[in-house]
Amino acid sequence: MSLDSKTVARIATLARIRVPETDLPGLAQELSGIMTWIEQLNEVDTRGVQPMSGVLARDMPRRADVVNDGGDPQKVLANAPEPAHGFFTVPKVIE
């Protein structure tokens, strides 16, 4: 599988990572190398095999639907880059 610069630019946008135009060809080549190596998985006959998302063969446990944590905005905001008035802040999103 070979990835071109356009595909890499698209997935970089999806992943919200800015990649300079000049880095795209090199990155495309690197990722293509990895994907080509990965393609050997196509040899494996997996007809009738259920995809496995985790090793624990049981249902997720449930807990009572009650508030059991929270009420500590100072702690939540303690590491925020630019908190203001008890909120996280981001660049303006509505003109």
By CB under 8 A, name the binding residues for other proteins: 3, 7-8, 11-19, 27, 30-31, 33-35, 37-42, 44, 46, 49-56, 60-61, 63, 72, 75-76, 78-82, 88, 90-91, 93
Best CA proximity match to 73, nearest among 87, 59, 63, 61 = 87
Q: What number of other Cβ atoms are within 10 A of residue 8's Cβ? A: 21
Rounded distance, CA 3 to CA 9, Å? 10
Least distance between other proteins and beta carbon 20 (Å): 9
Rounded distance, CA 13 to CA 21, Å? 12
Q: Between 60 and 67, name the residue whose CB sits nearer to other proteins.
A: 60
Least distance between other proteins and beta carbon 95 (Å): 11
* Residue 84: φ, ψ to 5°: -150, 130
Least distance between other proteins and beta carbon 81 (Å): 4
Q: Between 22 and 46, name the residue whose CB sits nearer to other proteins.
A: 46
